[in-house]
Chain A
Amino acid sequence: MRKMLAAVSRVLSGAAQKPASRVLVASRNFANDATFEIKKCDLHRLEEGPPVTTVLTREDGLKYYRMMQTVRRMELKADQLYKQKIIRGFCHLCDGQEACCVGLEAGINPTDHLITAYRAHGFTFTRGLSVREILTELTGRRGGCAKGKGGSMHMYAKNFYGGNGIVGAQVPLGAGIALACKYNGKDEVCLTLYGDGAANQGQIFEAYNMAALWKLPCIFICENNRYGMGTSVERAAASTDYYKRGDFIPGLRVDGMDVLCVREATRFAAAYCRSGKGPILMELQTYRYHGHSMSDPGVSYRTREEIQEVRSKSDPIMLLKDRMVNSNLASVEELKEIDVEVRKEIEDAAQFATADPEPPLEELGHHIYCSEPPFEVRGANQWIKFKSVS
C-alpha cells in the first residue's frame, strides 16, 4: 500500500514538473516555417488555380492544430452529452471535417462573413464563439449563445449567420449577405456553405443565377462528405461534380481533409471575389465520422471499413500533426500538451454546460420582436401570459 502511495506521489510530482519540461521543449530549436506540397485543385472555367505549395509558419501550425483538436474534442463531448440525454433533439456532428472550418477561417478575415447549414458547431467556434457558449447552447441553458432559445442549429456570432435548419435555405441568404457586402463597398466576401445533399435544391440555382448576374462577392462552398443523410452522392445527383454545378460560375474541387489545401483554395477564391469578378464555387471533399445526426449510427449506408480507412489515411488532425513533426515545426510532446489543454478546456466547458440552469420560464416570450416596447404573449391558454421583451 505504501509502495503504491509512493508511486502515486511520484506520478503526481512528475506532473508538477511539467513547467520545467515545457521550458525544455520551448528552448528546442524548431523551424520557423516549412513549405509543403498540396494537392492540385480540379478547375472549372478557371485558367489557373490555387498554388500547389504553401508555407506554414510554426505559429499558424500550432494555431490550426489547436483549433482542429478543439473542434474534434468538442464534437466528441457533444456525442457523450447526447448519449447521456443532456443534449436533446438534433445534434449534427462534424468530426472528420475539421480541416474545412479551420482552413476556411484561415483563408479569410474576421470582417468577412460566413453562413452554413445545420452541421455548424465547428464554424460557430472558428467564427469566434467559445466552446462554453456552444456546449451550453446545446444543453439548452441560459448561458448558451442563443440563451437556450435556439439549440444546435441556431447559433449566431459576429459575421456568422448560423446555423440554419432548412436545407438549402441558407444559400440565398448567403448571396444576400454578399449583396450587402457589395452594396456597402467594403471589399468583404461571404462564404456560403451547403452540403452535397443540399446541392440539388432549386433555390441554390436561383442563387447562382442572381449572384453571377449581379457579380456578388459570394463564395459558394459545397462541403461534400459523400452522403446526404443516408443517401450517397451517386444516388442523389445526376452529376456529382459539385464544383461544376454552378455552370457559368467558375469552380474548384479541393481536398477538404487537408487544412492547408483548404486555406490556399479559400485565399484564392476570396481574392477572386474581392477583385469584383463575381461569385466562385468551391467543392471541399471531406468526410464525417459520425452518422448524419445522433440518431443515425452511420453504418447502414456505408461500411465500417470505409470509415476506418478515412480515419487512418486522411484524418485532418493527423495529417497536420505528421507534417509539423516531420518538418520540425513542433514536437510530439508539444502537441500532446495542446491535447491536454484542449481536453481540459472542453471538460470545463462541459461541466459548466451541464450545471448551468435552464433559462427562466419568464423569458419564454422574449425576443419575438426587435426594438419593441414590452408586450404580452399568449401561453397555452388565455390565462397564461408571458411578458415579451426585446
Chain B
Amino acid sequence: MAAASGLVRRPLRQVSGLLRRRFHRTAPAALQVTVRDAINQGMDEELERDEKVFLLGEEVAQYDGAYKVSRGLWKKYGDKRIIDTPISEMGFAGIAVGAAMAGLRPICEFMTFNFSMQAIDQVINSAAKTYYMSGGCQSVPIVFRGPNGASAGVAAQHSQCFAAWYGHCPGLKVVSPWNSEDAKGLIKSAIRDNNPVVVLENELMYGVPFEFPEAAQSKDFLIPIGKAKIERQGTHVTVVAHSRPVGHCLEAAAVLSKEGIECEVINMRTIRPMDIETIEASVIKTNHLVTVEGGWPQFGIGAEICARIMEGPAFNYLDAPAVRVTGADVPMPYAKILEDNSIPQVKDIIFAIKKTLNI
C-alpha cells in the first residue's frame, strides 16, 4: 500500500523512467540462445552486411536446412543468395570455390562433414593451396561449414571427426565452436576472413541453449580466429578440448572441484592456427595436461598438442606425461552401449585427470 501511494505521488516522468530502467536491466542478462540460432543469426547478419555473401548446399533454402540452421534465410534473401544444390558435393564445392575466386563470398554447407570427403580435393587443392601457389595473386574467401563428428545412432559412415584431417593443411583455417557465443562469433569471423575457413559445428550442440552475453548480441560481434578461451580457471591440471567435449570437461571439473581438484579448462575454439601459447601458459602454471577430443586418437588434435608442448617451454614444467582422451579407435558402432563407449565420457575425463595427477 505504501509502495503504491509512493508511486502515485511521483510525477509521471519519473515513474516511466523507473519502469524503463527496470526493463533494460532484466531482458539482456537472461537471454538464452541455442547454438543453432546463434549460427543462424551470424549468417543472417553477414548476409545483410555484404551483398557478396551467399549460402549454398543441400536443403539450405526451401527446407530451411537439414538441421534447420538456415531457417528463415531463404524467405528473407531469396533464390539468388540462398541456393539449394543437387546432391553433388564435388560439383557444388568446386562451384563455391570458383565463385570465391571470382570475388564472391560463398558459405558452402556440407550436410555433414562426412560428405565433404567427396569434395575434399576442392577444399584442399582448389581452395587451401591457391593463395600460396599463385604467389599471392588469387585469394579464396570461402567458408565451408556443417556438422562434424559423432551424432547419436548414425553409425560409422556418418560420425567421423575431420578436425585432424583439415587441421593438417596449411592455407586453411579451421575453427570448432562449442557454445552459442563461439558459434556466432566464429561464423562471422569466418565469413569476413579472406581465406578458406572450415567451420566444424556439432549436431548434438545445435539445440543446446547458452546464456548469450550482451556483447554477443551486437551485429559486429566477432571472435578472433586463432585464439583459445579459458572457460574455467584452475591450478592443478590443464584440460584442453574443442567442440562438444568442452562441456564434458566443465562437467568433469565441477565433479573434481568437490574433491579439491581445480581444473583449468581451455576451449580451443580454433584448430588451425592453433593457439598453443594459451595452452603452454596454462601448463606452466598447472604442470599437468589432459587433452580431450571426439576424434580418433592416431594423428589427432591431442597428438599435435602433445608434440608441440614437448617442443616448447612448457615441457620442463610437466610433472607427468601429457594424457589424451579421445574417441575409441574404431569406426563408430550403432548399438547405444557401444556408441556411448566410443566417445569420451565425463567419467573417462575424470579418470584421465586423476591418472595424470597420480590420484
Chain B 77-102 near chain A by CB (<8 Å), digits 1 or 0: 00010010110101111111111111
CB atoms of A367 and B91 under 8 A apart: no
Contact of B134 with A by CB under 8 A = yes
Interface string of A169-209 (1 = CB under 8 A from B): 10111111111110110000010000000000011001101
Tell me which of B88, B90, B91, B171 contacts A369 (CB under 8 A): B171
Asked if B92 and A177 sit within 8 Å, CB to CB, the answer is no
A123 CB–B CB distance under 8 Å: no
Which residues from B are CB-within-8-Å of A164?
A: 126
The answer to whether B170 touches A173, judged by C-beta atoms less than 8 angstroms apart, is no
List A contacts of B93 (CB < 8 A). Answer: 172
Asked if A1 CB lies within 8 Å of chain B CBs, one says no
CB of B86 within 8 A of CB of A209, answer yes
CB distance from B81 to the nearest CB of A (A): 9
Q: How far, in whole Å, are A144 and B101 apart by their CA atoms in the complex?
A: 21
Alpha-carbon distance between A154 and B85 when the two chains are bound, in angstroms: 29
Counting chain B CB atoms within 10 Å of each CB, the highest count among A161, A184, A366 belongs to: A161
A213 at the interface (CB under 8 A from B): yes
Would you call A6 an interface residue if the criterion is a C-beta within 8 Å of the partner chain's C-beta atoms?
A: no
**Are A176 and B101 in contact, CB atoms less than 8 angstroms apart?**
yes
Task: Check A150/B134 contact, CB under 8 A, given A169-B94, A180-B102.
Answer: yes
| Residues in A128-152 with C-beta less than 8 Å from chain B | 144-150
Chain A nearest CB: distance from B307 CB in Å? 9
Note all chain B residues with C-beta closer than 8 A to A176. Answer: 94-102
- Bitwise interface map of A from 346 to 390 toward B, beta carbon under 8 Å scored 1, else 0: 000000000000000000001111111001010000100000001
In the complex, the answer to whether B134 meets A146 with C-beta atoms within 8 Å is yes
Docked complex Cα distance between A375 and B86 (Å)? 40
B86 A213 Cβ-Cβ under 8 A: yes
Chain B residue at minimal CB-CB distance from A185: B80
State whether B95 touches A207 (Cβ < 8 A): yes
Report if B139 contacts A (CB, 8 A): yes
In whole Å, how far is B77's beta carbon from the nearest beta carbon of chain A?
13
B311 near A382: Cβ-Cβ < 8 Å: yes
A162 partner residues in chain B, CB cutoff 8 A: 134, 138
B93 CB to nearest A CB, Å: 7
Specify which chain A residues have a CB less than 8 angstroms from the CB of B102 in the assembled complex. 113, 161, 176-177, 180-181, 190
A190 to B94, CA, bound (A): 14
Cβ–Cβ contact B95 & A210, under 8 A:
yes
| Tally of contacts, chain A with chain B, CB under 8 A | 149
Q: Which of B275-330 contact A (CB under 8 A)?
A: 311
Nearest opposing residue in chain B for A367, CB measure: B136
Once the chains bind, are A368 and B311 in contact (CB under 8 Å)? Answer: no
A156 at the interface (CB under 8 A from B): yes
Q: Are B273 and A375 in contact (CB under 8 A)?
A: yes
- Name the residue on A nearest B88 (C-beta): A206
A113-B102, A181-B102 given; A146·B94 CB < 8 A: no
| Assembly CA distance A247 to B91 (angstroms) | 17
What range describes how many residues of A lie at the interface? 35 or more
Q: Is the CB of B195 within 8 A of A370?
A: yes
B133, A180: Cβ atoms closer than 8 Å: no
Enumerate chain A residues within 8 angstroms of B233, measured Cβ to Cβ: none
Residues of chain A lying within 8 A (CB to CB) of residue B171 = 368-369
Instruction: Known contacts A169-B94, A203-B90; decide if A183 and B137 are in contact (CB<8 Å).
Output: no
- Nearest opposing residue in chain A for B98, CB measure: A176
Complex CA distance for A160 and B170, rounded to whole angstroms: 24
A166 contacts partner chain B, Cβ-Cβ < 8 Å = yes
Q: Across the interface, do A165 and B138 meet the contact criterion of CB distance under 8 Å?
A: no
B218 interfacial by beta-carbon distance below 8 Å: no
A210, B98: Cβ atoms closer than 8 Å: no
Per the 8 Å Cβ criterion, residues 105-163 of B in contact with A are 121-122, 125-126, 130-139, 141
Contacting pair A169 B135 (CB below 8 A): no
B173 at the interface (CB under 8 A from A): yes
Q: With A174-B98, A390-B136 given, is the CB distance from A369 to B86 under 8 Å?
A: no
Nearest residue in B to A157 (C-beta to C-beta)? Answer: B137
Known: A166-B126, A370-B194. A156 touches B91 (CB 8 A): no
Whether the pair B195, A369 counts as a contact (CB closer than 8 A) is yes
Cβ–Cβ contact A377 & B90, under 8 A = no
Q: Are B98 and A177 in contact (CB under 8 A)?
A: yes
Q: Which residues of A lie under 8 Å from residue B141 when comparing CB positions?
A: 370
21 contacts between A and B (CB under 8 A): A113-B102, A144-B135, A145-B135, A146-B137, A147-B135, A150-B134, A157-B137, A161-B101, A166-B121, A173-B94, A173-B101, A179-B104, A180-B99, A180-B103, A180-B104, A184-B103, A203-B90, A206-B91, A367-B135, A370-B131, A371-B194
- The 7 lowest CB-CB distance pairs between A and B, nearest first, are A176-B98, A172-B94, A206-B91, A147-B135, A180-B102, A173-B98, A146-B135
New A-B contacts (18) at CB < 8 Å, excluding given A169-B126, A176-B95, A176-B99: A149-B132, A150-B133, A154-B130, A156-B138, A166-B126, A172-B93, A172-B94, A175-B94, A176-B97, A203-B88, A203-B90, A203-B91, A209-B91, A210-B88, A367-B134, A368-B131, A368-B132, A371-B195
